[in-house]
Amino acid sequence: MLVEPLRTSTVAPVINFATAIPQSRRPAAMSAVQKLCAEYERTLAAFKTALDLSIEAENAALDARPKPDSLIRPTKRNFADVPDYTAKLTSRKYLPSQRIPITSGEIRREIKSIKNNTVKEEGSGKTRTITVCEKGFPLTAKQKARLARVEARLPIALAYEAEVAAIEKRFRVKELDAAAQVPSRRLGPLAARITDTPSRDRYDMLAKARICELDPDMAEVSEDIAMSIARDFARLAATGAV
């Protein structure tokens, strides 16, 4: 099901530890924690910038998409020939207009199912007889007519998907999405390194707290670093360092 992505702001100034701490109280060099936090903030800013570009490209490609042919639109009539199994596999209710057009994969699956025709159901009411034939039963006139309707949709779906793919290529959708994943994949390992690196003083703890402030949407990052700060505080307080 096609869902329009949310835009993310990339306004996130990089911490400048060289000026954030008063000269009289500043250590001679940035600590390991401060370096990791500065790298995390730069990486997060790069990710947000790349994500915005990716979302803009995807939205532009969506706007440029042509209207699908009536035979592959997600309508009740079309689903009578090509069932919408995705709706049956989820309890979430959604309008047909929220679904993508019927795909060539769905059509191929239904063509195969009709041709196989291995199950025959007879009877009515509470009494029904189900017969299974591994080789398949001959198609009835009604099944042949439905098969013809379904097969007619396949070239239409393929042509539509090719046109959509060309549009996405023109707007570099996959390329920009892949570019956004590069900094995104670095955030988790960086957060783990920050969490595992003990703070040497209050400024290291402030640097970690800054990461929680910058990245509140990533609960696992904020919670892990917050626990790291709590451990740092308990340890440094016991030695009178804070």
Q: What is the pLDDT of residues 13-39, one digit of tens each?
A: 444 444 445 554 555 689 999 999 999
* For range 215-226, the mean pLDDT: 80
Rounded to an integer, the average pLDDT of 36-59 is: 96
Q: Are 130 and 88 part of one and the same domain?
A: yes
Tokens of 163: 């046109």
pLDDT tens, 78-135?
999 999 887 665 555 555 567 899 999 999 999 999 998 877 777 776 777 777 777 7
Answer yes or no: do 128 and 159 share one domain: yes
Query: Which domain range does residue 184 map to?
Result: 17-64+173-238
* 160 and 179 co-located in one domain: no
Rounded Cα–Cα distance for residues 176 and 171 (Å): 9
- My answer on whether 182 and 210 are in the same domain is yes
Q: How far is CA 134 from the centre of its chain?
A: 40
The structural domain count of the chain equals: 2
User: Do 52 and 95 lie in a common domain?
Assistant: no
Which of 142, 168, 194 is the C-terminal boundary of a domain? 168
Residues 60 and 180 in one domain: yes
Per the domain annotation, does 9 fall within a domain?
no
- Contact call for residues 200 and 33 (beta carbons, < 8 A): yes
Whether 115 and 128 share a structural domain: yes
Query: How much is the pTM?
Result: 0.73
Half-sphere exposure of residue 46: CA atoms within 13 angstroms, side-chain side: 15
